[in-house]
Amino acid sequence: MARSSSEDTVTESILLSDNHDRDSESRASSRPRSDGYTDEDEYYYDYSRTNVRRPSSFNRVLALVGMSGRRRRRDYELHSSSSGEALRGLLARPSGGRRRAVRETRTCRKGFAVGTARRVIIAMPFVILMLFGVLHVVQSLLGSAQLLWDYDEDDLFLPDWGRPGHTGEGLADYPTNATRDVLPIPCHSHNDYWRRVPLFDALHWGCTSVEVDVWMFDDDLFVGYDTQSLTRPRSFRNLYVDPLVELLDKMNAPGLYPNRTFSGVFDADPSQAIVLLVDIRSEAYATYRLLEEQLERLRTRDYLTYHDGQKLVQRAVTIVGTGNTPFDLVRANTKRREIFFDAPLDLFWEVPASPVVATDQTDTRAMKMDYGTAMARAPPNETASQLLNGLTKPTPGKATDSSFTADAFNDANSYYASTDFSKSVGFVWRGRLSPRQMEIIRGQIRGAKKRQLKSRYFNTPAWPVSARNHIWQVLVDEGADMLNVDDLKGAATEDWRRRVHRWWS
């Protein structure tokens, strides 16, 4: 059907109108916008604004030290030109050509080098500290390597030997198994009741002396540092007397050879006695008499060392009284003295090789002094009071009457000769004993040996470890008979001569 001319005219006008609109849009898109930005710029601006990059964990760490991470992409900096021209940021082609590109590359490399150098300078102290920390940890691990794999290689060979139903059944145990492989050493367990297992911790490390503080309440002796720490179960009998009796009964169980001597608590050295240093903290005379009564179980089994008026009869347990122990009661028992006294060591000072010099503050001669030579060269007619010249004022020992002199103490009534290290010797400066302090120690030990008493220093420095080890080594080298310690493991297993850190270990 043929269309009319009017319809053709309408159709043609519509097509022309559409073409005109498209041409207008095309021309509008090609012309710059009146605000100086194109739609493409607006798109990238909106994209950079709505898609903000979150900082990474690495950038957060750098921010803590005042640094910023290297940004591989920069946000599009639009609307920053005052002239109204669009800045395309990194997408805009540089107008300087190849020369400008080379210059920007050099600038980028220079900035990267400067940033890297800044990071290295800031991070270097942390790296050095970490390095020393790692070295310290490695040294600690190497020094205590057995703690990581603490096993006995011998246990891997026939581990079931001696057990019921296996090879060697009935051959693994014997009566003195309690202290097998324990070597006794001259160390004193200070405040032994603080140990996790009183008495047995000290025996485990080989200590031959333990200390116990006793208080009298309700006709019984209780163990503790002060009255607030006293409890009914922790009595002197429960913690020390009864365990010693049971242990000694096992060590002296009847065997195939009936006519044998009594053995002490150490299987490796049956003749070694254990010293029980009893520090009387309550009223002197009543507590002392009650202590004599509570030693009855040890007495009836003949486990107590005693002095019969002429000689010392050594047994498995030696009782020594200190603190408020009345010296007059100790000395009054002349027939069978079973409790001995802890004599004041600071009263026994005698002249060593050279007199004490108050102005001598250096320690250059400390390791060159010879104790044997000092003993040999000591003038016999000079006394301690004449040579001290007020530099060290002797103080009475614990619970001793001021009327007692040094001549009142001997091996018949006393066993130990003890003194407070900090009061008698003084503070140890720079972690080393001065020659003056060495003279004091040698003179006191010399006086104790002259009276056949065992010298002991308590309250020695426990820290730093290097100073503690130095003092331990000096005391042992100079002839101290008993080492008063709190760290039983350190005294029994550590190498005191090994160099350690001075003030931070």
**Concatenated DSSP letters of 366-435:** TTT--HHHHHHH--TT--HHHHHTTSS-----TT--TT--GGG--TTTEEEEEEEHHHHT---GGGS--H
CB atoms within 10 A of CB 391: 13
Count of domains forming the chain: 1
Residue type (1 letter), 495: D
Strands 312-313 and 306-307: antiparallel
pLDDT for 275: 97
The parent domain of residue 281 ranges over 185-493
Given phi > 0 = left and psi -120 to 50 = alpha, else beta, which region is 68?
A: beta
Structural domain contains residue 360 = yes
Q: How far apart are CA 445 and CA 468, in angstroms?
A: 19
Average pLDDT of adjacent 10-residue blocks, the chain of 505 residues? 52 55 52 53 60 66 63 47 48 57 77 82 87 76 50 57 65 66 92 93 94 96 94 95 93 71 86 96 96 96 94 96 95 93 92 47 40 38 37 37 76 95 87 86 92 94 86 91 92 70 42
- Cis ω for the linkage preceding 464 (within 30 of 0): yes
Pick from 411, 497, 408: which is nearest to 454 by CA?
A: 411
Q: How far apart are CA 354 and CA 85, in angstroms?
A: 98
Structural domain contains residue 96 = no
Pick from 422, 404, 426: which is nearest to 356 by CA?
A: 426
Structural domain contains residue 288 = yes
Contacts of 433 (CB under 8 A, 6+ apart): 363, 366, 425, 441, 470, 471, 474
pLDDT for 384: 38
Q: How far apart are CA 425 and CA 438, in angstroms?
A: 8
Structural domain contains residue 229 = yes
pLDDT for 202: 94
Structural domain contains residue 384 = yes
Q: How far apart are CA 352 and CA 8, in angstroms?
A: 140
b/e for 357-382, b at 16 or more Cβ within 10 A?
eeebeebeebeebebeebbeebeeee
In contact, 195 and 201? CB cutoff 8 Å: yes
SS3 state of residue 185: strand
pLDDT for 285: 96
Structural domain contains residue 322 = yes
Structural domain contains residue 52 = no
pLDDT for 64: 64
pLDDT for 126: 86
pLDDT for 361: 41
Structural domain contains residue 352 = yes
pTM for this structure? 0.62
Q: Which CATH number covers residue 271?
A: 3.20.20
Bridge partners of 188, per DSSP, are 209, 484
